[in-house]
Homo-oligomer: A and B are copies of this chain.
Amino acid sequence: MKRKLTLKLIAKELDVSISTVSKALRDSAEISEDTRQKIKAFAKLYNYKPNNIALSLKNRKTRTIGIIIPQIVHHFFTKVIKGIEQMAREHNYNVIITLSNNDFDKEVLNMELLANGSTDGFIVSLANETLHKDDFRHVTEAIDQGMPVVMFDRIVDEIPCDKVLIDDREGAKMGVRHLLKTGCRKIAIITTKDYVTIGKLRTKGYIEALESYGVRVQKELILKLDNIDRCDDECSAKIKHFLKDNDIDAVFTVNEMFAVTAARHLNALGKNVPTDVSIVSFSDGELSKHLIPSLSTVSQHGELMGRKAAELLINKLERPEDEVEEYTTAYIDTTLIERESTKKIKN
């Protein structure tokens, strides 16, 4: 197990000084053509690569972006990561990912860990629990220490940083309008509790869409759940009762799992999708496409979101020291994809 090649080793081998080697490899004009060639040939032969860690220490830059997300087994985050990774790679940045598991303490821990020099900046989507606790000191502290932060998706308005969002309100509006256009009037929504920003905004879009069509908003047709990403048994049971107890001709859900669960229960209740009940869902996954019937969705573009977030962060990282602080919020558009679950026009 030979040790990695360093400048020092090359220098010793070729009997020159370390700085000569360094300069030669960086094509400094100070070094004679002769020695330069010799050193470069040697370095190439033994595949010398400068040590990143040493460079980071010297430059006080790691060229590494830290990603803090609630979980990874989730199409949306996965796509965002892909987008971030692309953009980062294009700009010669690395990416470190940490998972909070929707746990506040772990999120704090992860941020502290990465803040200790491992990372030049953060891209963050907050844990469920963090939003609930309403405690964002770990984020603001990082910002105070001069760490650029970009938040996406699960954000908090008050934190002073760049943000990337999908236009949840508009997306929901578009989805619900599609239901209205296809004749639905008794439209339910399955959403999250209000402390989850995206749930709140989507609920708002739902209400606005109804109002714009002069349809009365009925409180009992709004189901707010604690869950965000999954749909456990308890959650499933709530949806079941909700669907059984209400007379509806459409369901709008703020995520794919809610939609799939609703579809199953409707089926079990003997209601046909889309003949009896239409479905539109916010979505990022593959499920909607492959379900029978396939589900119409308000599609988020996670990859674009990731790219944008990375772009904003890199901009901050590479801006001149003295530039004025300025925060932007970027919106990523959603797209309505019509599939079988809204094929049937209600009268």
* Interface locus among A45-53, A122-130, A153-161, A234-242: A45-53
- Chain B residues, Cβ within 8 Å of A115: 49
Given A72-B81, A85-B98; A146-B112 close (CB under 8 Å): no
- Given the known inter-chain contacts A3-B146, A116-B52, A146-B3, please indicate yes or no for A73 contacting B62, CB distance below 8 A: no
**How far is the CB of A304 from the nearest CB of chain B, in Å?**
14
Is A324 part of the contact surface with B, judged by Cβ < 8 Å? no
A11 beta carbon closer than 8 Å to chain B: no
Which B residues are in CB contact (< 8 Å) with A267?
A: 292
Which residues of chain A from 168 to 204 have any CB-CB distance to chain B below 8 Å in the complex? none
Cα distance, A3 to B144, chains bound together (Å): 10
A117 touches B72 (CB 8 A): no
Q: In this complex, which of A85, A116, A260, A292 has the most chain B Cβ atoms within 10 angstroms of its Cβ? A: A116
Q: Does A287 contact B (CB under 8 A)?
A: yes
Across the interface, A145 reaches (CB within 8 A) one of B4, B51, B116, namely B4
Q: Would B98 and A95 count as touching, CB distance under 8 A?
A: yes
A96 to B74, CA, bound (A): 19
Chain B nearest CB, measured from A66 CB (Å): 10
* Nearest B-chain residue to A51, judged by Cβ: B117
A56 at the interface (CB under 8 A from B): yes
- Smallest Cβ distance from A141 to chain B, in angstroms? 7
- Chain B positions within 8 Å of A112 at CB level: 49
Question: Across the interface, do B96 and A96 meet the contact criterion of CB distance under 8 Å?
Answer: yes
Tell whether A345 is near chain B: CB-to-CB under 8 Å.
no
Q: Indicate with 1 or 0, residue by residue over A42-76, a CB within 8 angstroms of chain B CB atoms.
A: 00000101111110110000101000000111110
In the complex, chain B residues whose CB is within 8 Å of the CB of A79: 73
> Is A286 an interface residue when CB atoms closer than 8 A count as contact?
yes
- The one of B56, B85, B116, B146 in contact with A99, judged by C-beta atoms closer than 8 angstroms, is B85
Query: CB of A337 within 8 A of chain B?
Result: no
Question: A52-B116, A287-B290 are known contacts. Are A72 and B78 too (CB-CB below 8 A)?
Answer: yes
By the criterion CB–CB under 8 Å, are A53 and B57 in contact? yes
Which residue of B82, B96, B286 contacts A72 across the interface (Cβ within 8 Å)?
B82
**Closest beta carbon of chain B to A96's beta carbon, Å:** 5
Q: Does A53 contact B117, Cβ atoms closer than 8 Å?
A: yes
Complex Cα distance A66/B264, Å? 41
Is B2 in contact with A145, judged by CB distance below 8 angstroms? Answer: yes
Can you give 18 A-B contacts (C-beta < 8 A)?
A1-B146, A2-B146, A3-B146, A4-B117, A51-B57, A51-B116, A52-B113, A52-B116, A53-B56, A54-B57, A71-B82, A72-B81, A74-B78, A82-B99, A94-B114, A94-B118, A260-B290, A285-B286
